[in-house]
Structure 1
């Protein structure tokens, strides 16, 4: 296991190098002048050239990339053009908000998705199964921002049960986490149903039924453990997407996480913040995939990596 983990970590290095190059080029080739955005279009050319030189924009792109690579290798993501604060400090303040929102969203997604998926598979071709298929298909089609606004209108504006925006308490977390996890719950439900139905066709399930075991015992004792391998893969991928994809929900609920920070950085053409966030989201996704692979052996001890 240790050898496998070390190999996977070393394999991440060239991937991260490619990501750093692509993100650097993407950011610097994006239309828009960060200097004009920061200081206004009325800035005179002499001051403009002076600021441009101080930011190193006169240097060729490969020189700027080398300087950027040297910074990130030392853990320094530079200073934000917009706020004039250290990008690492800003990410540190916002990261826990996004992580907490993601965990809460995944909690709702797993609870709803696993229950609906397992029950639909157990009641295959029943009215409950058909309702589950129709509801999950509908949920996947609903845009997150629209669903969030509907929840806000009903539970915050009309009923007054929850705040419309902000953070700081568990009550602030409920609406954005439900909004973010709702679509993922439908994906997990459909994937769980398919996995459980596939395992139910195996010989060992028929043997358990022949021995007179109850269907509920068979599903929870024998089927679920084998079906969870595929479900864990999907859950891990969705968790990685949630970490980097909470942008819309954070904007709707004014949640002070990394998603809203990324939107503000893109609008301001804040190169250091944009580059750091893209790289951070990529690292998060790679780490989640590694943890998913390791979890396979915990769910099914027959799986070994050595």
Structure 2
């Protein structure tokens, strides 16, 4: 296992290098002048040229990339053009908000998705199975921002039970986590149902039934161990997406996470913040995929990595 993990970690390095180049070019070739955005379009030419030289925009792109690469290898993502603060510090502060929102959302997603998916598969073609299929299809089709606004309208505006936006208490976390979690729960429920139904057709399940074992015992003891492999893959992918910043939901609920930071950085053409966030999201996704692969052997001991 250790050898496999080491090989995967080494394999991540060239991927991150390519991502850093692509993100650097993407950010610098995006239309929009950060100097004009920061200081106004009516600034005089002399001041403009001074700021351009100070920020290093007069250098060729390969020189700017070399300077950027040296910064990230030293653990420094530079200074934000907009806020004049250290980008690393800002990411560290906002990452905790995004991480908390991600774990809370995945709690709802796994709790609801696994229960609905397993029960629908166990009661195939029943009323409850059809209700589960219709419900998950409907939830997947609903835009997250609309669902979040409806939750806000009911539970915050009309009932007054929860705050509409912001952060700071557990109550602020409930609505955005439910908004994100229900969409992921619907996806997990569909994958769980399909996977469980597929495993239920296997020979070892028929053998267990022939021995007189109860259906609930068969599902929880024999079926889930094999059915959860594709579910874990999908859960890991969704976790990686959420950890990369739930941009729309964070904007709706004014949640101070990485998603809202990315939007602010793009609007301000804040190159250091944009580059750091894109690189961070890519590394996070690669790490989550590695952890998902490792978890396979924990769920099913027959899986071994050499």
Give the TM-score normalised by structure 1: 0.99
Answer yes or no: is the 8 Å Cα contact 2:114–2:189 preserved in 1.
yes
Match of 2:294?
294
Distance 1:60 1:181 in 2: 45
Distance 1:284 1:100 in 2: 15
Distance 1:61 1:147 in 2: 43
Superposition map of 1:19-168 within 5 A: 19-168=19-168
Q: Deviations over 1:71-124 (max 9, x none)?
A: 000000000000000000000111000000000000000001000000000000
Displacement of 1:21 in angstroms is 0.6
Match of 2:228?
228
Displacement of 1:131 in angstroms is 1.0
User: Where has structure 1 moved over 4 Å in runs of 4 or more?
Assistant: none
Match of 1:239?
239
3-state SS in 2 of match to 1:264:
helix
Displacement of 1:245 in angstroms is 4.0
Displacement of 1:243 in angstroms is 1.0
Give the TM-score normalised by structure 2: 0.99
Q: How many residues align?
A: 306
Distance 1:271 1:245 in 2: 18
3-state SS in 2 of match to 1:262:
helix
Distance 2:164 2:125 in 1: 41
Match of 1:8?
8
Displacement of 1:26 in angstroms is 0.7
Distance 1:30 1:52 in 2: 16
Distance 1:263 1:245 in 2: 10
Match of 1:205?
205
Displacement of 1:42 in angstroms is 1.0
Match of 1:195?
195
Q: Gapped runs of 5+ residues in structure 1? A: none
Distance 1:156 1:29 in 2: 42
Displacement of 1:170 in angstroms is 0.9
Q: Deviations over 1:115-148 (max 9, x none)?
A: 0000000000111111111111111111000000
Answer yes or no: is the 8 Å Cα contact 2:245–2:258 preserved in 1.
no
Distance 1:109 1:46 in 2: 55
Distance 2:36 2:253 in 1: 30
3-state SS in 2 of match to 1:75:
coil
Distance 1:115 1:17 in 2: 41
Q: Gapped runs of 5+ residues in structure 2? A: none
Q: Deviations over 1:8-63 (max 9, x none)?
A: 00000110011001100110111110000000011000000000000000001111
Q: Deviations over 1:148-193 (max 9, x none)?
A: 0000000000000000011111111000000011111000000000
Match of 1:285?
285
